[in-house]
């Protein structure tokens, strides 16, 4: 029997075993409930499950999840972020917060591991939506507000002086990347050109490494 995993249902979870996993699909056998013994296939990991497919979580015990319109995201354990105290904050939940229907688009992007651009008028709920999803799943977030004061060294890092000579201090972007934090680039339309050029470079590098990974896998 394959690895134990949990498949979301409308009410909770079905315990399943993963029989086979390829780059195009995962084959499962259901181990509990009314469908016990049935085999099913679902899309591969990292593909948004959306309205059509349940989500699958590989774990010995049933995971906690945040659910919205057929989608779900696993609630993270604080122990998954050993450097939490130095770099980012866990976001407090606002109660009540209304997760409007477009939340599902953001969740699909999160599952796919995509960068997301939210645009709209002031106060429509762009920043709070990201932060409130993070709050519900225990995802640490670094938030930078481009109010004209953010410098390249705030973002990338700077050389400082330590006991043994010069040291490199990571800025917000490498801190987020090294630790698995989200980074919210608030009011990015007010960022200076030298800051925007860094993001363009990062996106090029990420695209390059993604295409190298695909080539290496295929």
Question: Which residues would be at the binding site for ligand ADP (CB under 6 A)?
Answer: 94, 97-98, 100, 120, 122-128
Site residues for Mg ion per CB under 5 A: 126-127
- Interacting partner of 100 out of Mg ion, ligand ADP, none (Cβ under 5 to 8 A depending on kind): ligand ADP
Closest CB to ligand ADP among residues 129, 195 = 129
Least CB distance to ligand ADP at residue 152 (A): 24
* Residues 136, 165 contacting (CB under 8 angstroms): no
Least CB distance to Mg ion at residue 186 (A): 5
Structure tokens at 47: 């593909």
- Interacting partner of 128 out of ligand ADP, Mg ion, none (Cβ under 5 to 8 A depending on kind): ligand ADP
Least CB distance to ligand ADP at residue 125 (A): 3
Beta strands in 83-188 (DSSP E): 141-145, 157-162, 165-170, 182-186
Strands 157-162 and 165-170: antiparallel
Least CB distance to Mg ion at residue 184 (A): 8
Q: How far apart are CA 189 and CA 173, in angstroms?
A: 17
Closest CB to ligand ADP among residues 97, 146 = 97
Segment (H or E) for 115: none
What is the full DSSP assignment across 116-132? -----STTSSHHHHHHH
Sign of the C-alpha dihedral computed for residues 197, 202, 207 and 208 taken in this order:
positive
Closest CB to ligand ADP among residues 55, 133 = 133
Least CB distance to ligand ADP at residue 184 (A): 9
Closest CB to ligand ADP among residues 147, 209 = 147
Q: Pick the closest to residue 81 from 157, 156, 176 (CA basis).
A: 176
């Amino acid at each position: 029997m394959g690895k134990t995993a949990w498949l979301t249902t409308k009410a909770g979870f079905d315990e399943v075993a993963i029989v086979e996993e390829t780059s195009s699909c995962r084959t499962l056998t259901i181990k509990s409930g009314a469908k016990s013994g049935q085999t099913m296939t679902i899309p591969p990991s990292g593909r948004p499950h959306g309205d059509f497919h349940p989500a699958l979580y590989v774990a010995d015990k049933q995971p906690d999840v945040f659910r919205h319109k057929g989608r779900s995201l696993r609630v993270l354990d604080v122990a998954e972020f050993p450097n939490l105290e130095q770099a980012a904050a866990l976001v407090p939940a606002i109660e009540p917060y209304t997760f409007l229907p477009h939340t599902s688009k953001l969740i699909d992007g999160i599952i796919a591991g995509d960068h997301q651009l939210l645009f709209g008028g002031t106060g429509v709920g762009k920043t709070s939506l990201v932060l409130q999803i993070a709050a519900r799943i225990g995802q640490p977030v670094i938030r930078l507000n481009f109010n004209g004061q953010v410098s390249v060294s705030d973002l990338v890092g700077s050389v400082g002086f330590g006991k043994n000579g010069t040291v490199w201090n990571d800025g917000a972007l490498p801190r987020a990347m090294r630790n698995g934090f989200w980074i919210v680039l608030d009011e990015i339309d007010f960022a200076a050109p030298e800051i925007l050029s860094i993001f363009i470079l990062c996106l090029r590098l990420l695209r390059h490494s993604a295409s190298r990974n695909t080539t290496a896998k295929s």
